[in-house]
């Protein structure tokens, strides 16, 4: 959440990894960090929506206790640790679990080079999945004329759910069940995307940070190697406001 500072005379500050960061009341730690060009890795956060706190990748240590940076309000004199060996290790474990719980084959994925999961893994130096892959059996829903859902790649960030509900006012998507049974659902009696009024112009059609909700027919229009995250590091995009 960007806040207009033009009429703000307060001088609240906290520190993140020793750097003094100014903030104003109402901002979260992640808001304040991004505005001060301090990168805190995150997956389910998008400044257009209320924070969700579900991916836990933005975890930081606040005055000695672990919290999500996206949901924790910034407070005066907070001492925050983010870019530490221990926290980055824990973030890598979360990413490794996401990679092995789904079916993520970056070299053949049309989202490669433009995928938040892949780029965050690069940013955090994840060099292997570490855990044995689950290889869950998931489907591809290609029933819609313009869009498809590849359930193999969903990381359950809930951005499509929030976008469809809050911006498109359609409520097309939902997330059901828990743990390894978690599923992205579609609001139609058949459960197929093609039986909803989802449109490729919907905000939700362009919000998926990974290759789970895709437009048909454009996958390789821009070659891998020339895509946004191939050219500009994720960290640079995040602190410049280009990325989420």
Contact residues: ligand SF4, CB under 6 A? 154-160, 184, 207-208, 210, 212-213
Half-sphere exposure of 82 (CA within 13 A, CB side): 25
Closest CB to ligand SF4 among 120 and 158? 158
Q: Are 229 and 114 in contact (CB under 8 A)?
A: yes
Cα 54–Cα 69–Cα 163 angle in degrees, nearest 5: 45
Instruction: Dihedral sign for Cα 206, 210, 212, 218, please.
Output: positive
Smallest gap from residue 203 Cβ to ligand SF4 (A): 11
Smallest gap from residue 207 Cβ to ligand SF4 (A): 6
Smallest gap from residue 31 Cβ to ligand SF4 (A): 21
Closest CB to ligand SF4 among 77 and 181? 181
Interstrand relation of 79-81 and 12-16 (parallel, antiparallel or unpaired): parallel
Give buried/exposed letters for 100-132 (b at 16+ CB in 10 A, else e). bbbbbebeebbbbbbbbbbbbbbbbebeeeeee
Smallest gap from residue 161 Cβ to ligand SF4 (A): 6
Closest CB to ligand SF4 among 62 and 157? 157
Distances (CA, A) of 151 to 41, 169, 185, 206, 218: 24, 23, 10, 16, 19
Closest CB to ligand SF4 among 69 and 205? 205
Q: What are the residues facing 213 on neighbouring strands?
A: 149
Instruction: Dihedral sign for Cα 91, 106, 181, 144, please.
Output: positive
Smallest gap from residue 189 Cβ to ligand SF4 (A): 20
Closest CB to ligand SF4 among 109 and 160? 160
Closest CB to ligand SF4 among 68 and 210? 210
Smallest gap from residue 22 Cβ to ligand SF4 (A): 32
Smallest gap from residue 8 Cβ to ligand SF4 (A): 34
- For residue 41, give the 3-state DSSP assignment: coil
Closest CB to ligand SF4 among 16 and 207? 207
The DSSP code for 12 is: E
Helix (H) or strand (E) holding 169: none
């Amino acid at each position: 959440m960007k806040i207009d500072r033009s009429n703000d005379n307060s001088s609240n500050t906290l520190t993140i990894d020793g750097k003094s960061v100014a903030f104003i009341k109402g901002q979260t730690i992640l808001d304040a960090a991004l505005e001060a060009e301090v990168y805190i890795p995150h997956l389910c956060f998008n400044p257009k929506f209320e924070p969700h706190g579900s991916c836990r990748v933005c975890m930081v240590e606040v005055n000695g206790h672990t919290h999500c940076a996206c949901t924790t309000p910034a407070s005066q004199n907070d001492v925050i640790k983010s870019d530490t060996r221990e926290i980055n290790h824990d973030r890598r474990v979360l990413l490794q679990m996401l990679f092995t719980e789904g079916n993520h084959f970056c070299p053949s994925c049309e989202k490669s080079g433009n995928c938040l999961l892949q780029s965050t893994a690069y940013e955090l130096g994840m060099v292997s999945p570490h855990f044995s892959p689950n290889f869950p059996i998931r489907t591809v829903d290609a029933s819609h004329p313009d869009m498809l859902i590849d359930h193999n790649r969903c990381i359950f960030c809930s951005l499509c759910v929030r976008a469809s509900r809050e911006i498109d006012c359609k409520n097309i998507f939902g997330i059901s069940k828990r743990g390894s049974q978690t599923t992205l659902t579609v609001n139609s009696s058949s459960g197929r995307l093609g039986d909803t009024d989802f449109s490729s112009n919907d905000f939700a059609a362009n919000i998926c940070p990974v290759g789970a909700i895709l437009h048909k027919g454009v996958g390789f229009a821009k070659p891998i190697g020339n895509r946004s995250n191939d050219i500009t590091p994720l960290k640079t995009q995040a602190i410049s406001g280009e990325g989420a």
